[in-house]
Amino acid sequence: MSLVPFDDRDGVIWFDGKLIPWRDAKLHVLTHAMHYAGGAFEGERAYGGRVFKSREHSERLHKSAEILGYTIPYSVDEIEKAKAEVVKAMGGGDLYVRAIAWRGSEQMGVAAQQAKIHLAIAAWAWPSYFSPELLEKGIRLKWAIYRRPSPDTAPTASKASGLYQICTIAKHDAEREGYQDAMMLDYRGQLAEATGANVFLVQNGELHTPTPDCFLNGITRQTVIDLARKRQIKVVERAIMPDELGKTQEVFLVGTAAEVTPVGQIGEYKFTVGSVTKQLREDYLKEVRQPATSAAAE
């Protein structure tokens, strides 16, 4: 099956304050972010034309840019309005939404204080990350070849483009060997996350998840924790060593793109797609389609 390139599609993209034709949303080869990985971005999903937890994503985008040393020239409210315009212009319904900020081409070199800060927002149809067959039996993960860095070596509290290079390398390595993703350890050798999603372990009916002290405390992660507690499921955030997978019954990943994805294998460890995983996946897919409860959520 041939892929449709992302630079050659119909539709519109919100670019620096206005909607422009999709194919016109172009950058110069000497754009600073392309060379120095200074992009701050968000991955979001719209369900039925409404972006789930949209404001939280917009606020995190601002925070990521701040951590990377620049200020986005659009307020959270302006970003919220822009996302709504994009979703409507792209037909509403179920869409993936990508907002990204970056330094432009005014300066080339490590220092770029005078570079203009740009913002773009695109939306397109993107169904479930994995096929129904894979979701039924759980995806397979290989151990990643890179580890999540220490907070004193990288801006780990930001959703920054540069932090995802090791994820791309690890995921490509896993896919070459027939796996769907890779499980990353952190700099201490503890469980961290997959290449683009947080991880949960079910141990004797309880949920255990790594403490997000060197990777993002994902918005989907926070949602699933809330849903679990509503079900009276105990949630424990703590340091988890890889060998604990040997006493784990279920594993699942959570993220905007992944939603709630069952895991059938990590390296040498295998798991069942059990009742806790199925219940929380069902609860999450209901939650994202709940009507907005306030004007701010629109």
What integer best gives the mean pLDDT of the chain?
95
Residue 296 scores a pLDDT above 50: no
Alpha helices in the chain (DSSP H): 32-36, 54-67, 76-89, 132-137, 165-176, 219-230, 275-287
Residue 5 lies in a domain: no
Residues 29, 104: one domain?
yes
Residues 227, 146: one domain?
yes
CB–CB of 57/44 below 8 Å? yes
Residue 297 scores a pLDDT above 50: no
Residue 54 lies in a domain: yes
pLDDT in tens, 59-74: 999 999 999 999 999 9
Q: What is the average per-residue pLDDT within 224-228?
A: 98
Residue 66 lies in a domain: yes
Look up the domain containing 86 and give its range.
12-124
Map residue 268 onto helix, strand or coil. Answer: coil
Q: How many domains does the chain have?
A: 2
pLDDT in tens, 138-189: 999 999 999 999 999 999 999 999 999 999 999 999 999 999 999 999 999 9
Q: Is 159 a catalytic residue?
A: yes
Residues 188, 58: one domain?
no
Percent share of the chain, pLDDT over 90: 92
CATH of the domain at 80: 3.30.470.10
Buried b (16+ CB within 10 A) or exposed e, 152-189: eebbbbbbbbbbbebbeebbebbeeeebbbbbbbbbee
| Residue 293: per-residue pLDDT | 54
- Token reading at 298: 């629109």
**At 128, is the pLDDT very low, low, confident or very high (cuts 50, 70, 90)?**
confident
CATH of the domain at 277: 3.20.10.10
From 124, 150, 179, the end of a domain falls on: 124
| Residue 295: per-residue pLDDT | 37
Residues 258, 148: one domain?
yes
Residues 280, 136: one domain?
yes
Residue 4 lies in a domain: no
Look at the pTM and tell me if it is higher than 0.85. yes
Instruction: Catalytic residue, from 83, 159, 230, 278: name it.
Output: 159
Residue 294 lies in a domain: no
